[in-house]
């Protein structure tokens, strides 16, 4: 299955795919032995989808990343092996393998020029008073920005928001801007 097909599948369904290498071993996380996933999931905050595992240094999902970034993560995962539905794995003969960045490289998000320009325009408007600003997120509701990290680098920029009904969240600022998920009051 191609990366674009996988993205559409996880956007519209509750499903999990594992990555299986050419020897039939399933990629798992080193610390937990959990299977690395490409997934769509329906939770209390609604449907979200993304990629989870050591190969992407944790979790990248639609709650804080754009489809463009998720697609890049899926493409990277597919360099390791093929995507197999978790329900189709042979658990009787289950073999694990692990991702080592030193052997396989590191997944890096490559922002498009358009996204970077949108980020810079947004930053020019809002940079002065970000900490303490009241914001509204399309999923999490209203909250207050408590901290900002790496504001000068669109790929790393992170905000911490204390939401009224959802508590503290760490969010990727560029993806919030790209997907119109955040409004500053």
**Mean per-residue pLDDT for 19-31?**
93
42-85 residue pLDDT tens: 877 789 999 999 888 889 988 878 888 899 999 999 999 999 99
92-133 residue pLDDT tens: 889 999 987 765 555 555 556 776 788 888 888 887 779 999
Q: How many CB atoms lie within 10 A of CB 68?
A: 17
What are the residues facing 37 on neighbouring strands? 18, 52
Let me know: does 139 contact 181? Beta carbons within 8 Å.
Answer: yes
Let me know: does 76 contact 57? Beta carbons within 8 Å.
Answer: no
C-alpha of 9 from chain center: 16
State pTM to two decimals.
0.62
Let me know: does 4 contact 71? Beta carbons within 8 Å.
Answer: yes
Pairing outcome for strands 158-163 and 141-149: antiparallel
More confident residue, 180 or 77: 77
Q: Write down the pLDDT at residue 89.
A: 94
Complete domains list, the chain, with CATH = 3-100 (no CATH), 116-183 (2.40.10)
Q: What whole-number percentage of the chain has pLDDT above 90?
A: 46
The stretches of 53-94 forming alpha helices (DSSP H) are: 67-78
Give the whole-angstrom CA distance, residue 88 versus residue 83: 11
């Amino acid at each position: 299955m191609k990366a674009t097909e996988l993205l559409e599948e996880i956007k519209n369904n509750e499903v999990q795919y594992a990555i299986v290498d050419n020897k039939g071993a399933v990629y798992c996380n080193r610390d937990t032995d959990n299977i690395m996933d490409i997934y769509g999931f329906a939770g209390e905050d609604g449907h979200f989808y993304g990629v989870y595992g050591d190969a992407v240094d944790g979790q990248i999902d639609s709650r804080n990343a754009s489809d463009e970034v998720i697609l890049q993560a899926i493409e990277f995962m597919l360099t390791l092996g093929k995507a197999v539905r978790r329900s189709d794995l042979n658990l009787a003969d289950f073999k694990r393998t692990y991702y080592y960045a030193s052997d396989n490289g590191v997944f890096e998000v490559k922002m498009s020029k358009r996204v970077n320009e949108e980020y810079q325009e947004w930053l020019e408007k809002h940079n002065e008073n970000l900490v303490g600003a009241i914001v509204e997120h399309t999923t999490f509701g209203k909250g207050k920005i408590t901290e900002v990290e790496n504001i000068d680098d669109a790929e790393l920029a992170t905000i911490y928001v204390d939401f009224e009904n959802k508590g503290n969240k760490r969010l990727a600022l560029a993806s919030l801007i790209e997907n119109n998920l955040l409004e500053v009051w």
